[in-house]
Every structure is written in structure tokens, then in C-alpha cells.
Chain A
Amino acid sequence: MSRSLKPVLLAGLAGLAILGTGPLIAQTAKPQAKAAAPAQAPAAKAPMLGLGRPALPEEIKAWDIAVRPDGKGLPPGKGTVKQGDEIFQAQCASCHGEFGQGNGRWPVLAGGVGSLTADRPEKTIGSFWPDLSTVYDYIRRAMPYGNAQSLSPDEIYALTAYLLYLNDIVKDEEFELSDKNFTSVKLPNAAAFYDDDRETTEKAFWGKEPCMKDCKAEVKITGRAAVLDVTPDSKSAPKVD
């Protein structure tokens, strides 16, 4: 390396260290990184590489389709159960069934309330989903399957209202869902979710020194895949939950 190039390279390395890249680079540039320590805060204020360009409001509006549980992201609009029924029969029932019961293997959207501790739980919007916002968000981004993002905000409000009706969460066919009353609707299973607690509830899986010799007297086979015979190439195919 020529002497005259050195300062340029060092400056480059220092810049990288500020951004907190891999340990190798950070080590190489240690003295520089120390001087630049305050800039290590995650919320860096100024553009550092000058790449990318400002996103325009129209562009953000076009792509910003997510809806949160607090209602952030809901577009203005409204729709009734009755209107939703009509749209559902035209756009959704061929897969999900007239009443959201699911045709063939397509997802079941209604029913299953009280089945979550059963041997074969039925996890639907009414029995399992915690937030109504997810219904709106998911229809808006991904449904109908194969023709996503083709429904208007009002149509999605109507469909969401119909799904509430199919799940007995609203009883009135005249019920109208809108961006105004949306967050007042609560789903039955909302309180049944909690954050990952494996490090507490599965603490026993950590730190044990497992047995290596003469660990058990007897071993018996309790189940075999070949009995079920559902692996591809085998002849039968079972029903799937």
C-alpha cells in the first residue's frame, strides 16, 4: 500500500466502524471508532452513505396498506353485513364456502369456538384470532387468493362485517363496520396470547449434563411411520387437519 493512500483508507474504515459493522473492521479501526463513539446510537440522525432517495407521499400512500390493532392504517370507508354477504358469495365462497365453513381443504373462517383445548382444535377468526385488524389487513393484502389487492376499502369493510356475522360476533345483518367503529369490536380469543416464555417455562432444557452410560434398562417402540404409510410414494393419502 502506498503511503499517500493510507489516510483515505483509514477514514473509510472509521466510517464503517461508526455504523457498527463486523468485528473485524471494528477492530482494525479501533482508535478511530473510540473517537466516534457518540455516533453509535441506533437512531442515527443524518444520512451516512447518501444512497436512496426520499420516498414521495404518493408512493408511501400506494404501498402503506398495513392495518394495526389500534386502527392505524385503516382507510376511510364502511360496509354492512348484508353487503358483505353478497361480495363473499361472489368472491370468496368458491373456496371458503357460503358460510365460511371451507370447501375441501381450503381454510375454515368461522366456527370452532371452544375447541382450542380439544384433541383437534378448529382455529378460525372467531375461535382463535386475537385482532379484527388482522382480518382487514390480510384481506386487503392477499385476498382473493390469486387476485390480491383487487377489493375496495368499502368492500373489505363489508366482508369483515360479514365474517363477524358468520362468527356470531355481530348478530344484526344491518350492522355496519367502518373506520369509525372498527376498534370497538373485540374478538373472543384476544386475551389468550402471551409472549414467548420458553426461557422460563422450558428452563429445564438448559444446563443439564445428560446421561451417557446405562441410561435405561429397556427401550420399546411405541409408534411407527410405516404403519401410517402416508409418505409420498406410498399409496394412501390421509385427510389433513
Chain B
Amino acid sequence: MSSEPQAGPLSRRRFLGVAGAAGAGLAASTLPARAQAPTPDPLITEVQDWNRYLGEGVDKRPYGTPSRFEKHVMRRDVSWLTASPESSVNFTPLHELDGIITPSGLCFERHHGGIADIDPANHRLMIHGLVEKPLVFTMEDIKRMPRQNHVHFLECAANSGMEWRGAQLNGCQFTHGMVHNVMYTGVPLKLLLAEAGLKPNAKWLMLEGADSSGMNRSLPVMKALDDVLIAFAMNGEALRPEQGYPLRAVVPGWEGNIWVKWLRRIEVGDMPWQAREETSKYTDLLADGRSRRYTFIMDAKSVVTNPSPQAPLKHKGRNVLSGLAWSGRGTIKRVDVTLDGGKNWQSARIDGPVLDKSLTRFYVDFDWAGQDLLIQSRAMDSTGYVQPTKQELRKVRGANSIYHNNGIQTWHVKANGETENVEIA
């Protein structure tokens, strides 16, 4: 190779031009002579191991896992957030996913007393209180009732909560990853309640888990009779233990905390219980020192997942911007995206199913010349709600409400493609 003539300045410039046009991210400084006579790719010209030798047989993976090259695609936690891993949270790797369905093993976790380990044969669901006939159901009973399938997002009320005071965590996994979206299979709660027979003064239900936190929340009867499912399956198989196996509540569009896992008891009453999780927690402190309570609904929200701090831009020229939008009030009608910090917007292309109270996937296919980008997305839902900026939210609520931060996210893409969580004005 050293005997080959050195490339002159002219041809070197030409090489750079060609490489740039082709969008190849190769190091331009090495061996410019190669460029004049491109060498064949040995991955093509030489027979590879996987092409020659037998792979593993069908009996090796009775329950399959992702490729060993996808090991980095995993839930992550932020250890400084909480005092104990059993009452804590981890985050869905949104930047590594596409479409709208979250793989079950990547759905973020939030527990208050660890993951209860329950044999379904030992699980019971009790319904009592203001009912004609208090009942106990086994899992077998529940699986004999008419069932439904629905795709819904589950978003923690505290998703993006660390960002109220400004840009803190560098990655959409951490700023927006307390959300997942799966297909649930279960029995409408109204069928279970009909079995017990609600008394006329029944106004509220209390859902309670079988775990060591005895998680309990008050749920208005109107919601229970509307679209709440008591689910035993997600994405076609039994719930994962960390998602409430064998039984959980699915409360479409409402904050994740009320989706009680390991559900064992439903008490019917005429007033809310004011449980710890609806007084001390999951109430929203405003600037005047007063607090909103029963802020159940998750408002319209969106985030660009790619590019993002964990998924920088690697190529000039053609790129795919991808993101997620969702609303607890209905379907996503439109998502607008800006690349220049909100000076100019374009409506993104929504692809895939647009479902009620579900994650919705959007794309913008764009060319990048290497300039700084300030990327934002703005969701609009079927009720006409337009996702606000963080400044607009803080103006109403202050910076201490912890929950329900659905403000517009900004990513700063720098000339080298590196991307950072920023706030802009």
C-alpha cells in the first residue's frame, strides 16, 4: 500500500466530497489512496462463520431472548432517585424501540414494596362493601368471564418529574421512559361489579394490591363502569411478575399509580379513602401552597426518541427523526416537529395504528447538513388539547408539583451529532 502514489490535494478533496455525498461516516483522514480504488468488503467476499457452520437448533431457546448484540437495550434505573430499590422506578429504553408496542421485558417498573411472588393458584380477588353480594374470585373464575383486548399506554404520574426545574437527565429513557404501551387481555371491571351487584349509593371503589405495600387507590365508579379492565395478560402472554402477575388493573388514560398490580381486593364505598397514594403522593403542589388531588388523567404529550442524547445523529444527509405521542384524553390527531427551536414547524408523518389512549408513532424524514438543531415535538389530541411548553406549565403550576409534566422537550443536536437535553427560551 505504501508503494501506491500519494493522493494529491485535488484528489483528496474529491474523496472527501464523494464520501460526504455518499453519507459514509468513515474516517476521511486514513489512507486516502484507498478511495481511488475502493477495496471489496471482506464481509461480502469472504465466507463468514455464520454462513458456513450450523447455528443453534430449535431446542436451544424454548423461551427466546433478544440477540446478544442487543444487550444494551435494557431498563435502566437512576440510583440516586430513591432510598431503596424495592420502592423505586426504572425506565423503558424508548430510544431503542420503534412502533408502538413495548416489549414486555422492557416495560418500566415501579414498585412500592418489591415484586410480589404469587402462584396464581393462590391468588384471590375479593369484591365487597356496597354490593348486594360480596364475592371471591379465583384466577380460574376470572378466565371464564368474557374478555377483551385493548392497547393502552401506562405512564407514571412522575414521568418527566425530575425535569420540572430544568434540564436534568440526559436521555429520553430517563426523561420520558416511565411509560409503556402493550396489549392487555382482561375482563371489563363492570362485569365483575355486575356479578356482585353495586348498591345505588356506590360512588367510589378502592383497589388494593396483594404486595407488601398493600398499594391502594380510590377509583370513581363512573370510570370503573366505563373502560377499566382487570387484566391477566399483556402482549399475548401472562402478565410479567413485575407488572402485577397474575392480575392488575388497567385504567386507560389515567396515571400509572392507579393501575394497581397484584390486585386482590376491590371495596365499594360512597366516598374516597384518601389513601397515602392520593394524599401524601400523587397530589400536585402548586405555587400558592395548595394542592390538586385526583389528577387522574395524563394529558397529551410527545417526545422525539431519535435523535436524542442516547441516540445521537451519526450521518449527514438523510436521517429519520422518530418519536412517540400519546394522550389520556383520546387519540393523537397531529404531531408537529421543529428543527430550529420552534421558529418553524412541520406536521410529522404518523405511521402505524392510532389508538385511543395509546402510544402513537411519528416520523419526519429529513436531510441534515451538519448544522445545530433544536428539536421539539408538539402533540395535539382528539379533544383539541395542544401540548404546552414547560414554561406555560410552570406559569400555571410552579416548579414543585412533581407529577404530570407533559411539557415540550427540547434536544440540542450539535455539529458532531452529539445530542443534549436542553431548555430554550
Contacts and interface: CB of A to CB of B under 8 A. Distances in A.
Interface of A: 16, 19-22, 42-49, 51-55, 59-60, 63-70, 72, 104-107, 116-117, 121, 123, 125, 128-131, 133-134, 137-138, 141-142, 145-146, 148-149, 192-198, 201-202, 204-208, 210-217, 219-226, 228, 230-232, 234, 237-238, 240
B293 A121 contact: no
A65 to B, nearest CB: 7
A16 to B, nearest CB: 6
21 contacts: A48-B194, A52-B141, A55-B134, A68-B271, A121-B400, A128-B280, A128-B285, A131-B279, A142-B113, A146-B212, A193-B291, A195-B294, A197-B292, A204-B392, A210-B345, A210-B380, A213-B344, A223-B422, A225-B169, A231-B174, A237-B80
In the A-B complex, list the 4 residue pairs whose CB atoms are closest, starting with the nearest: A141-B214, A219-B341, A225-B421, A105-B83
B134 A232 contact: no
Contacts, number: 280
Interface of B: 76-84, 86-87, 112-113, 126-128, 132-137, 141-142, 144-146, 148, 166-171, 174, 188, 190-200, 202, 206, 208, 212-214, 216, 221, 225, 264-265, 267, 269, 271, 273-276, 279-280, 283, 285, 287-297, 299, 309, 336, 340-346, 374, 378, 380, 383-388, 392, 396, 400, 412, 420-425
A66 B79 CA distance: 32
A196 B386 contact: no
A212 B336 contact: yes
Given A210-B345, A230-B80, A223 B171 contact: no
Contacts of B79: 232, 237
A149 B385 contact: no
A202 B396 contact: yes
Contact of A206 (B80, B276, B384, B423): B384
Contact of B137 (A52, A145, A212, A232): A52
A232 B195 contact: no
Contacts of B293: 193-196
B376 to A, nearest CB: 10
Given A205-B392, A215-B345, A230-B80, 13 more contacts: A19-B191, A48-B194, A54-B135, A138-B276, A145-B87, A145-B113, A196-B293, A198-B295, A202-B388, A205-B299, A206-B384, A219-B424, A220-B425
A206 B283 CA distance: 23
B287 A224 contact: no
* A48, A105, A232: most-surrounded residue (chain B CB, <10 A): A232
B77 A205 contact: no
B167 to A, nearest CB: 4
A52 B423 contact: no
B378 to A, nearest CB: 7
Contacts of A53: 135-136
A47 B132 CA distance: 9
A51 B424 contact: no
Given A66-B208, A208-B386, A145 B84 contact: yes
A225 B221 CA distance: 42
A68 B274 contact: yes
A133 B216 CA distance: 14
Contacts of B199: 43
Contact of A214 (B127, B148, B198, B344): B344
A237 B288 CA distance: 31
A148 B113 contact: yes
A66 B206 contact: yes
B422 A51 contact: no
A121 B197 contact: no
A51 B295 contact: no
A196 B294 contact: yes
Given A47-B197, A225-B167, A137 B225 contact: no
A19 B274 contact: no
Contacts of A196: 292-297
Contact of A45 (B188, B197, B297, B386): B197
Contacts of B387: 205
Given A43-B197, A238-B80, A215 B344 contact: yes
A134 B146 contact: no
A49 B112 contact: no
Contacts of A123: 280, 285
A222 B425 contact: yes
Nearest to B201: A43
Nearest to B216: A66
A148 B304 CA distance: 42
B343 A206 contact: no
Contacts of A240: 80-82
B135 A49 contact: no
A118 B135 CA distance: 48
Nearest to A133: B274
A221 B423 contact: yes
B132 A45 contact: yes
B171 to A, nearest CB: 6
